[in-house]
A = this chain, B = another copy of it.
């Protein structure tokens, strides 16, 4: 098994763990991780626009809209169209939303956070740096486009069963 495949497996496990936790959260508190994250963002900057939220948390506007739909249906947030620029929609937490947010746990497993913070400072730094590097390597896409390649290997191994 190739090393990058193992990396992919580990990555899938991480993604899955995050998803499972989000679902567990939802069952227990009625809020998912993405919903919590969006609400945190609103709490941080009342009246923030949909676009801004999307940019801040690296999601598309469409996704944020659908999350906001659910939050609005449960009266955790309200939308308010801007008067000065009628394209923009400002989002606010309701009273209800504030208390929900305050009572909610963190959007990441507490025990992961505990374990992470129990590590040595340098280890935390190291882990973060590695993750950021992976992110960069995956996102580069348009940035690098040059070095270390040049090798015209476009084919794919012919699956020797």
Chain A residues engaging chain B, CB cutoff 8 angstroms: 3-4, 6-18, 21, 43, 57-59, 98, 101-109, 111-118, 124-128, 130-135, 137-141, 144, 148-149, 156, 158-159, 161
Contact = CB atoms under 8 A, between A and B. Distances in A.
Given A106-B156, A111-B141, A114-B148, A135 B13 contact: yes
Contacts of A128: 3, 6-7, 10
Count copies of this chain in the complex.
2
A18 B138 contact: yes
A156 B102 contact: yes
Q: Which of A101, A109, A134, A139 has the most CB of B within 10 A?
A: A134
24 contacts: A3-B125, A4-B113, A6-B132, A7-B116, A7-B127, A7-B128, A9-B58, A11-B18, A13-B135, A14-B131, A15-B18, A17-B139, A18-B138, A102-B159, A106-B156, A109-B138, A111-B144, A112-B137, A115-B140, A115-B148, A118-B148, A126-B130, A127-B134, A130-B130
